[in-house]
């Protein structure tokens, strides 16, 4: 599907979509449990992949469309050997969580995904599983999927690099609670995307699992049982997705844009609120009611390190292209290992739209004062975050912007374009 956006002004109120990160973890924790209800889940392409993985390991995930909940019957910490290959599609979170889970089973689990997922790095997790008495290998011996893992994983201590993916830490913490010995993770360098592990610790705690930070990294005790304390688990709103709505309001607001269900918590991407304030946007955030309101103002460039907030880079690049001065995004090398190289993708597409952008290995510099965005045809790179960020850029570009492959927003925000229309965006869809 292609989407063509005409420059528009936005206004109104909309609810934040549920968090993809929390939903992934809640589904997996439900799989490790006995019976769990997950309220307000994000049902998207990525989270459906995690549902399939839980089903493959002997659990059952049912989406109750009447109540909007997920009803999960888990495998209670003892995953079965899947009868077939687990297809993780485009979900990096799924393949990493499922890889560690498969290492608990007394047999072999095969995992793969689409072309993009098969290019993403997995070797640090495979090496850690080997060191923890499991079995893990890349079928092509290049550290990428397809993967074959087996167990049973016994636990112990393992080193992990912190600058490739925090999902490796998350995967081992989830599986470690079900091992005999538990798992101690020794980080070999500084952890990137650290707030995502904070989300993991938050979900584990809700399910009764004791895991913690240590002086070297992280630790989780073994022989623990996943038991939800409060009967049902409620997924909070997603600040990665909220960032596009706030950016739209900050750049093209006719009146204010209000996002509901935006409660503060461990999500690193809530930094978008502070960053927009630093750029000059008018923000009002009621923590008690979860209402977050932005009013358009003239924006100025900023310098932001995205080590802990990689998913914000596309949004911030677009904001920088429309702001006065220069916006510099640093510590972004790991952002190249997502669904696509998001640093290169944003540099290329914004340049095509008329922005002046300098791309470096670990830095992206957007010269807003030297940029005049023009509508054109751009490739969404099959990346939901690139597509949504470009949709925001299109609001202030001169002329219409066509975004190719826009259906990939289904990964994290399936009704994104419907929401944009309710806020006043003029757009059309075509096959």
- What H or E segment, with its residue span, contains residue 174? helix 167-176
Supply the DSSP symbol for 190: P
**How many angstroms separate the CA atoms of 85 and 360, rounded?**
39
Residue 70 neighbours by CB under 8 Å, 6+ apart: 26, 27, 30, 37, 38, 41, 43, 51, 61, 62, 63, 64
**How many angstroms separate the CA atoms of 339 and 197, rounded?**
20
**How many angstroms separate the CA atoms of 87 and 110, rounded?**
9
Tokens (6 digits) for 419: 């929401």
CA 263 to chain centre: 18
Name the catalytic one among 269, 311, 379, 383. Answer: 311
> Is omega for the bond preceding 227 within 30 degrees of 0, making it cis?
no
Task: Say whether 85 sits in a helix, a strand or coil.
Answer: coil
Closest CA to 33 of 95, 79, 86, 99: 79
For this structure, is 198 an active site residue? no
- Residues belonging to the chain: 431
Tokens (6 digits) for 183: 């798992």
Contact at 8 Å (CB) between 255 and 219?
no
Which residues on neighbouring strands pair with residue 192, listed in sequence order?
none
Residue-wise DSSP of 353-416: TT-EEEEETTEEEEEGGG---B--EEE-TT-HHHHHHHHHHHHHSBS-EEEETGGGGGGT-TTH
126, 129, 135, 139: CA torsion to nearest 10: -10
**How many angstroms separate the CA atoms of 350 and 381, rounded?**
13
Which residues on neighbouring strands pair with residue 356, listed in sequence order?
367
Cite the active site residues: 311
């Amino acid at each position: 599907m292609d989407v063509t956006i005409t420059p528009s002004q936005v206004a109104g109120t909309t609810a934040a979509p549920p968090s993809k990160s929390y939903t992934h973890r809640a589904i997996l924790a439900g799989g490790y449990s006995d019976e769990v209800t997950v309220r307000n889940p994000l049902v998207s392409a990525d989270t459906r992949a995690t549902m399939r993985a839980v089903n493959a390991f002997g659990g059952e995930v049912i989406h109750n469309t009447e109540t909007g909940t997920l009803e999960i019957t888990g495998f209670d910490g003892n995953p079965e050997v899947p009868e077939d290959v687990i297809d993780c599609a485009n979900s990096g979170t799924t393949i990493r969580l499922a890889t560690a889970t498969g290492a608990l089973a007394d047999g072999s689990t095969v995992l793969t995904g689409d072309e993009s997922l098969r290019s993403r790095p997995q070797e640090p997790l495979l090496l850690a599983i080997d060191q923890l008495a499991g079995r893990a290998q890349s079928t092509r011996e290049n550290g990428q999927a397809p993967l074959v893992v087996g167990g049973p994983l016994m636990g112990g201590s393992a080193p992990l690099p912190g600058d490739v993916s925090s999902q490796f830490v998350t995967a081992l913490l989830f599986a470690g609670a079900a091992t005999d010995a538990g798992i101690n993770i020794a980080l070999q360098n500084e952890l990137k995307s650290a707030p995502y592990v904070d989300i993991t610790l938050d979900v584990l705690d809700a399910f009764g699992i004791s895991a913690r930070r240590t002086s070297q990294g992280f630790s989780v005790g073994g022989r623990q049982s996943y038991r939800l304390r409060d009967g049902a688990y409620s997924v909070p709103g997603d600040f990665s997705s909220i960032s596009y709505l706030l950016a739209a309001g900050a750049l093209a607001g006719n009146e204010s844009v209000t996002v509901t269900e935006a409660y503060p918590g461990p999500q690193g991407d809530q930094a978008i609120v502070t960053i927009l304030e630093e750029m000059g946007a008018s923000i009002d955030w009621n923590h008690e009611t979860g209402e977050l309101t932005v009013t358009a103002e003239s924006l100025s460039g900023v310098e932001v390190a995205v080590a802990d907030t990689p998913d914000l880079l596309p949004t911030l690049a677009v904001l920088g292209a429309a702001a006065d001065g220069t916006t510099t995004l640093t510590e972004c090398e790991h952002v190249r290992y997502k669904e696509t190289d998001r640093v290169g993708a944003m540099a290329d597409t914004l340049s095509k739209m008329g922005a002046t952008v300098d791309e470096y290995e670990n830095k992206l510099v957007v010269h807003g004062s030297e940029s005049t965005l023009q509508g054109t045809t751009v490739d969404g790179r099959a990346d939901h975050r690139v597509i949504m960020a470009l949709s925001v850029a299109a609001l202030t570009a001169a002329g219409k912007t066509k975004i190719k492959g826009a259906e990939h927003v289904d990964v994290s925000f399936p009704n994104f374009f419907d929401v944009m229309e309710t806020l006043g965006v003029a757009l059309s869809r075509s096959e």
